[in-house]
Amino acid sequence: MYITSVFITTKAVDIAVSPERLFAFITNPDHVKEWQPDLLEYEFLTEGGIRPGARIRAAMLQPGRGRVDAELTVVTVTPPEHLVYHSEERTSSVDFDYQLSRSPRGASLVVSMDIRLKGFLRVLTVVARPMIRRKLDALVLLLRDAAQAKA
């Protein structure tokens, strides 16, 4: 059972690589663990790589919850500008939206998360918001640093 969006959180950062290189980095499964250190497993359930409709099984370590298993579906792929994933797991539904554009420094990246908590977790929204915002901030900075290191 869902409720409407619990909240949307967004983080923007400039990255000293071209949007084309950044998009290739973000969509390369070999690099995912470099900027998502809590990721334990990442496995395609469909063939053909990152494409609309592709499904991915992921397991991550979340503070206070331990291992969380999720299934991600790729919704939108528009190289090198836009990538959207939809994630479902037992206690939440999340849309991850990556928008890239050219900037004087290389690429400008805006990452948004539209989060809908399920079940009893809905009552924890006030507590979850700042934790999730901090986590997104950290992940985007890790992504920036990893992408620039590979450039």
Q: Kindly report whether the global pTM for this prediction surpasses the value 0.95.
A: no
Amino acid identity, position 32: V
Which among 33, 35, 144 is positioned nearest to 43, based on CA atoms?
33
pLDDT digits 0-9 by tens, 39-98:
999 999 999 999 999 999 999 998 777 899 999 999 999 999 999 999 999 888 999 999
DSSP state for residue 105 in the 8-state scheme: T
Question: Rounded CA gap, 47 and 77, in Å?
Answer: 15
In a domain, 2, yes or no: no
Which among 34, 50, 105 is positioned nearest to 83, based on CA atoms?
50
- The tokens for 27 are 């969509």
In a domain, 1, yes or no: no
pLDDT digits 0-9 by tens, 91-138:
889 999 999 999 999 999 999 999 888 876 666 666 777 888 898 999
Domain with 112 in it: what CATH number? 3.30.530.20
Q: Which domain holds residue 31?
A: 7-150
Q: Are 122 and 3 in contact (CB under 8 A)?
A: yes
pLDDT digits 0-9 by tens, 18-40:
999 999 999 999 999 999 999 99
In a domain, 71, yes or no: yes
In a domain, 104, yes or no: yes
